[in-house]
Amino acid sequence: MDWKRSLCCLLFLLPLIFTLEIQTINSINELEESDFGKSFPQHGLLLLYWFNSLIDMDPNDIIRFKDRSYDPVTDYPFQQAENSGNLPHIIPNGQRAYYSIGDFEDGSVSYLPFYVTQDFYNAKNHEGRNLDRLIIVIDKWYTPVRVDQVYVTEKSECNAPNVTYNNFTATYKVGAQLLRQITTLTNPLDCQSTFLKEIFPHLGFSLTLAENMFGQLGLPLFLALSGYDLESRYNITAQTWSCPTLWLAGGRKSLCDTSKQELAIKTSQDGHAVISWHGLPSSVLKVHTTVALFQTSDRSGPLVEQRIDGQASGNLETTVPLNPGLQVHLIKQDVNDATIWQGPEFNDGNRQIPVQVGNASASLLMFTRKGYAAARLYIKKTFTTWKDDFYYSWVGFYSSPEESNENYLSRQWQWVSHFRKHKLLSLFRYDTYEYVSGTAMTPEIQIRFFLSEFEEVARTRGWNM
């Protein structure tokens, strides 16, 4: 069988020997005709919809990121990527490079919204939950940076003796017109659901299914128009939430609505984790259920659990300090106490993107450690004069974004030069420095960076904003 695996890899590699030709998808119709990202639990179409929410495009098709959707210092939420041969060659000049997102096993899963990652968390026994990638070319010669090219691709592995080759079997370039069409779908003035069902009668039932599973503006219509297999996904969703499947449902009114369900971790006024659940479908409320708080690195059992029979929404304050890796599970109480659904894994920065410090090669992030508010600075290694440039700089902690610069929390500030280097988080392109305050993380707390005195050059969002 080894020769068959070797032949498999040879066949995958052969196209790379010849001139690389990548099909461009210029419209949603062409996306529907492609074979990209149609099956559960693939997340490629969701990645594309999410990426489109991050960008603006001018009349000349120049793409730039919206404010606070990308950090040019760390490249969050993207990671620089190697070209494995399936993409056009880029002459390395230190300014243009490939960046990717979609490999949820590398830790990036905690940076994306849950509608993109929910199937990765909850379909662990299904193949294909980590195949899709979105790859872009970022040109940093421009300020602000430009996105020159956008690709979507599907990854598969071919293992031959002593060789593992990552093959991207379906790679497409995303055209500007396709991105414009996705933007149009998110405009409620342009796209009324009832009106569109009249224009596209073949979408009626598919759109209804999508609307029962996804609550983001324009996303149900995008998935229906793109040819995503919504019937299969709904039937899997129905099994998960004890809903009637399509062939058992008496009509559309009996379909299960999970579009508003949420399991999340929020913060109390004293830095403790709050279990929050919202919009649970009525079907699951008929069985005995429990919400439980887990630490993903600890398999000994839940840290906190409580029965919520019949409660579609609610909050439960705990005494567990807010820390990365916490996750809420909804559990069906029976002999095996099976998990019905998992919420997203809590990220220590609450999924916020670092904010660039003025025009410097540094960015600022608010995070939490053991329930305390903290500040993290990312400093590019090429920024060798940062200690001199930031000699009089400091970071202050504020109870809310409405507070004036002078009204920082009592004694909750620190000179930037006194931040401590975090060696494990310091990578080859930047170093990481941190300061943990003595104040508990609260829902509206915010940090601000001052170049000197009260010369503000950066501020984060409020924690839960």
Concatenated DSSP letters of 253-291? GGS---TT-EEEEEE-TTSEEEEEEE---TTGGGS-EEE
The structure's pTM equals 0.89
Burial 320-338 (b: 16+ CB within 10 A, else e): bbbbbebbbbbbbeeeeee
CATH topology of domain 355-459: Immunoglobulin-like (2.60.40)
Residue 315's pLDDT band (boundaries 50, 70, 90)?
Answer: very high
**What DSSP state is assigned to residue 344?**
P
Integer Cα distance of 292 and 288 in angstroms? 13
Is pLDDT of 421 > 70? yes
Average pLDDT over residues 346-370: 97
What residue spans in the chain does CATH classification 2.60.40 cover? 262-342, 355-459
Q: What is the pLDDT of residue 198?
A: 58
19, pLDDT greater than 50: no
CB atoms within 10 A of CB 343: 25
CA 360 – CA 386 distance, rounded (Å): 9
**pLDDT value for 32:** 94
Is the per-residue pLDDT at 241 higher than 60? Answer: yes
Chain-wide mean pLDDT for the chain?
88
pLDDT at 4 over 50: no
Class of domain 262-342: mainly beta
**Beta-bridge mates of residue 275:** 265, 316
- Which of the four pLDDT bands, split at 50, 70 and 90, describes residue 243? confident
Q: Which residue has the higher pLDDT, 214 or 285?
A: 214
Alpha-carbon distance 258 to 332, whole Å?
A: 17
| Residue 194: pLDDT over 80 | no
Q: What is the mean pLDDT of residues 132-138?
A: 96
Alpha carbon dihedral 345, 351, 354, 355, in 10-degree steps, equals -170
